[in-house]
Amino acid sequence: MSAGPLAGRRIVVTRARHQASALSAKLISLGAEVVELPAIEIVPPVSYAPLDNALSNLSKYQFLVVTSANTARVLVERSLVLGIDQAVFGSLGVVAIGSSTRQALENARIPVSMVPERYVGEALAAALKDKVKGSRVLLARASVARDVVPAELTRCGAVVDIVEAYRTVLPQESVIRLRELFAPDGKLPDAVTFTSSSTVSNFFRLLAEAGTRLGGQVKAVSIGPITSATLREHGWEPAAEASEHNVAGIIHATTELLLRS
C-alpha cells in the first residue's frame, strides 16, 4: 500500500494530457491514486495568420499580455517558425497572468515586466489601467476566453488587438473513461482538481455526453477564483481553492482538504 498523507485517496486530474504529468507525479508521490481524465485538448487555431502577423509587427505594440503557459509556448514556437529574434520581446512590457505563465516565458528567456497579484483578469486590468492610456496592447489567448481584460483596457484608453494562440476541444476518449469512473457500483474519486475555467466547462460537457452524474461525496478543488466561479455556475461549490494559483498551490489545497476529511 502506498505511504504518504494521501494514501488511499483517489484524485482526478483534468488538465490537458501534455500538462498533467507534474501535478499527477506530485500527488502520486504523496500516496494518492491518480486518475488522469483530460477535460481539454489543446489544438492549433483555425489559422495562425493573425498571430503570425502580430508577431511580425511587435514594434507597433507597447504591451504584450500572455494569459497562460499554453499561450507562452505557442508564442515561442511561432516566433521560431517565423525567424523572429526573441530579443524583440525585451522592448515590450510583457505581462504574464499567473506564475506558471511567467515561468514558461522566463524559461524561453522572455523577460516579464509584470505579474498581477491575483490570477484573474480584473487584477490585470487594475494593474495596467494607469499605464496603458494611448498604448497599443497585444493580447494573446485561447480562442474562447472572458472579455474582462480587453474591455477594461479599452476603457482605460488602450487600443487592444486580440489574437488566438490555440483552441481547446473536448477529448472524446474521456467520455468513456468518465462513464467508468462514476459508475454507480465503482469506487468514486475523493476529489477532482480543476486548473482553469475551460477544464470545468468541458468536464460538465463530458458528464452530459457520458450521461453520468456526480457522486455526492466527490469534492472539487479549484486553482483560483475564476475557476471557482465557473464551478459555482455549474452548481458545484468548490471544497477548496488554491491560495497560490499554480500547481504547487492546488497540490497544497488538495492535500489540506483531504487531510481534514
Same domain, 55 and 155: yes
Number of compact structural domains in the chain: 2
Which of 122, 149, 168 marks a domain boundary? Answer: 168
Report percent pLDDT > 70 for the chain. 96
- Residue 109 backbone class (left: φ over 0; alpha: ψ -120 to 50; beta: rest): left
Q: Sign (positive/negative) of CA torsion 59, 46, 72, 142?
A: positive
Residue 118 pLDDT class (50, 70, 90 cuts): low
Is a pLDDT exceeding 90 seen at residue 231? yes
Average pLDDT, rounded, for the chain: 89
Q: What is the pLDDT at residue 158?
A: 92
Asked if residue 15 is part of any domain, the answer here is: yes
Same domain, 22 and 47: no
- List the CATH number of the domain containing 103: 3.40.50.10090
Look at the block and give the residue holding cell 468514486. 188
Give the tens place of pLDDT for each residue, 124-167: 777 887 888 899 999 998 886 667 788 888 888 999 999 999 98
Q: What is the pLDDT at residue 145?
A: 64
Which of these, 67, 136, 139, lies nearest to 98 by C-alpha position?
A: 67
Same domain, 81 and 162: yes
Same domain, 27 and 90: no
Q: What is the pLDDT at residue 1?
A: 45
Same domain, 125 and 31: no
Q: The whole model's pTM is what?
A: 0.72
Same domain, 149 and 184: no
Asked if residue 5 is part of any domain, the answer here is: no
Asked if residue 1 is part of any domain, the answer here is: no
Give the tens place of pLDDT for each residue, 24-83: 999 999 999 999 999 888 899 999 999 999 999 999 999 999 988 889 999 999 999 999
Q: Report the distance separating Cα 120 and Cα 38, nearest Å.
A: 23
Asked if residue 125 is part of any domain, the answer here is: yes
Provide the residue range defining the domain that includes 181. Answer: 10-40+171-260
Is a pLDDT exceeding 50 seen at residue 208? yes
Which of 168, 197, 227 marks a domain boundary? Answer: 168
Is a pLDDT exceeding 80 seen at residue 215? no
**Three-state DSSP class for residue 138:** strand
H helices of the chain, in order, are: 20-29, 49-55, 69-82, 99-107, 121-128, 148-155, 173-181, 197-210, 225-233, 247-260
Mean pLDDT across 100-123: 83
| Gyration radius of the chain's alpha carbons | 19
Q: Report the distance separating Cα 226 and Cα 67, nearest Å.
A: 13
Which residues is 139 bridged to in the sheet?
Answer: 65, 162
Asked if residue 36 is part of any domain, the answer here is: yes
Which of 133, 168, 203 marks a domain boundary? Answer: 168
